[in-house]
Amino acid sequence: MKRLTYFDNSATSFPKPPAVAAAISHYLTEIGGSYGRSANTRTFTVARTIEQCRDALAQELGVSQAENIGFTANATQAANTVINGLDLEGGRVLISPMEHNAIARPLEALRLAGKITVEPLPAHPDGTIDCDRIHVPEDTRLVIINHQSNVNGVTQPLETLRKTIHSAPVMIDASQSLGKHNFLAEQWGLDFVVFTGHKGLMGPTGTGGFWAKNPERISPLLLGGTGSNSEHLSMPDSLPDRFEAGTPNIAGLFGLEAALANKPEQAYTQSNLHELLAAIRDIPAFQLYAATNPRQQGSLFSLTHESMDSGELAWKLDSLFGIETRSGLHCAPLAHQHLGTAPSGTCRISLSPYHTADDLGYLLEAFQELA
């Protein structure tokens, strides 16, 4: 079997399940048609597939109202929709220390405009939020938590955190975790979840979205045609149309629907991953950045080398071993500040469910040779 040396799955997963490309090709070459703009056979076929995709995502998220899921181009657009669509003015937003710029930048724009204050939640050195020290002031309008860090893979205990935060609305960035973890948004009492389709869900780029428990609290980010209520110049209230102006990424959603219906079994075991991390810890030249509690470890981690910067390490892994990784700040400067790895960043290794124990062994051999 050919060795899989692509370890940049937190940027975008590869390979995809074969059904993804087949579904996209099927749409582009045989189906055609739009979504919701007419009532011809092709358009209705498209609508059926897109709604099947929405229903499958509801199952993945652990929610009952699939129409409360709005499709967007990516998690960034979804996060902007929620953050800018809520009435946060004059209030406080609490965030985890591991937030990505998809969250940090829209919040910073609101902060600079004098509309909100932003404060980090207390956390342990690996980024795990410290439930015992959480204080949620009365003027808190939103708490945002990165479910799984895209830098060290630490996965936050959402059910426990939700109870600690009490009644303040909670938004989760599930970009790295959805598709990899059993997700129970309703059972955990979450209010908003933003996600992407092309990472853990194994779909194509250009797909993503958000789920809202109470979507009426969000004003839509984009305004335009929906194929419904066309005689009115304001956006319809009905869901999901309220948040889906413009023709969606139909080819992409065909691919995402196929990905959700054809999820691969993970080829490596959690023990394989933990053994790899333990072996890296034993190499003095490397500093590992991972979850302190192995049960909170996601399928990615970072490292630095005592004498090479992260870019050089990534380049050597690629040029000498064909191992593809990502170096730098990973669009998450706040996380790197918390971990003490800013501004130089780290070299990140992110796994695919298609990786085998042999692939992880090859990765370890490369680290040992570069030590």
Partner 1 sequence: MARQFLLLENTRAVIQAENHLKELNIPCRVMPVPRAISSECGMCLEITPPVKEPQLEKIKALALPSTIVALD
Kindly provide the residue ranges of all beta strands, DSSP E only, lying in 5-104, ordered along the sequence.
69-72, 91-95
254 vs 286, beta carbon nearer partner 1 = 254
**How is 169-204 classified by DSSP, letter by letter?**
-EEEE-TTTBTTB---TTTTT-SEEEEESSSTT---
Identify the DSSP state of 119: E
Q: Which amino acid is at 231?
A: E
Per CB under 8 A, does 12 bind partner 1? no
Q: Residue 350, SS3?
A: strand
Q: Of 67, 186, 309, 318, which one interacts with partner 1 (CB under 8 A)? A: 67
238 vs 270, beta carbon nearer partner 1 = 238
Query: Which residue in the block uniquely carries the two structure tokens 């009115």?
Result: 232
| Token pair of 107 as six digits | 């919040």
| Token pair of 1 as six digits | 């079997």
Distance CA 116, CA 133 (A): 22
Site for partner 1 in 162-221 (CB under 8 A): none
56 vs 143, beta carbon nearer partner 1 = 56
The span of 35-43, 130-138, 341-349, 360-368 binding partner 1 (CB under 8 A) equals: 35-43
The span of 2-10, 41-49, 190-198, 204-212 binding partner 1 (CB under 8 A) equals: 41-49
Least distance (Å) from partner 1 to the CB of residue 238?
Answer: 4
93, 228 Cβ separation under 8 angstroms: no
Distance CA 279, CA 276 (A): 5
113 vs 233, beta carbon nearer partner 1 = 233
Query: Which residue in the block uniquely carries the two structure tokens 């992880």?
Result: 360
63 vs 267, beta carbon nearer partner 1 = 63
Q: Which amino acid is at 255?
A: G
3-state helix, strand, coil in the chain (%, to 5): 35, 15, 45
The span of 38-46, 120-128, 136-144, 147-155 binding partner 1 (CB under 8 A) equals: 38-46
Q: Of 7, 27, 35, 367, which one interacts with partner 1 (CB under 8 A)? A: 35
Q: Of 148, 156, 226, 341, which one interacts with partner 1 (CB under 8 A)? A: 226
Per CB under 8 A, does 227 bind partner 1? yes
Per CB under 8 A, does 240 bind partner 1? yes
The span of 33-41, 108-116, 139-147, 215-223 binding partner 1 (CB under 8 A) equals: 33-41
67 vs 275, beta carbon nearer partner 1 = 67
Q: Put the strands of the sheet holding 286-289 in their side by side order.
A: 286-289, 300-305, 346-350, 326-328
Q: Of 25, 32, 48, 64, which one interacts with partner 1 (CB under 8 A)? A: 48
Q: CB within 8 A of 333, min separation 6: which ones?
A: 101, 104, 342, 343
47 vs 129, beta carbon nearer partner 1 = 47
147, 95 Cβ separation under 8 angstroms: no
Q: Residue 212, SS3?
A: strand
Q: Of 26, 37, 115, 316, which one interacts with partner 1 (CB under 8 A)? A: 37
The span of 17-25, 34-42, 140-148, 349-357 binding partner 1 (CB under 8 A) equals: 34-42
Spacing of C-alpha 193 from chain mean position = 10
The span of 42-50, 216-224, 336-344, 346-354 binding partner 1 (CB under 8 A) equals: 42-50
Q: Rule CB under 8 A: which residues touch partner 1?
A: 35-39, 43-44, 47-48, 51, 54, 66-67, 226-231, 236, 238-241
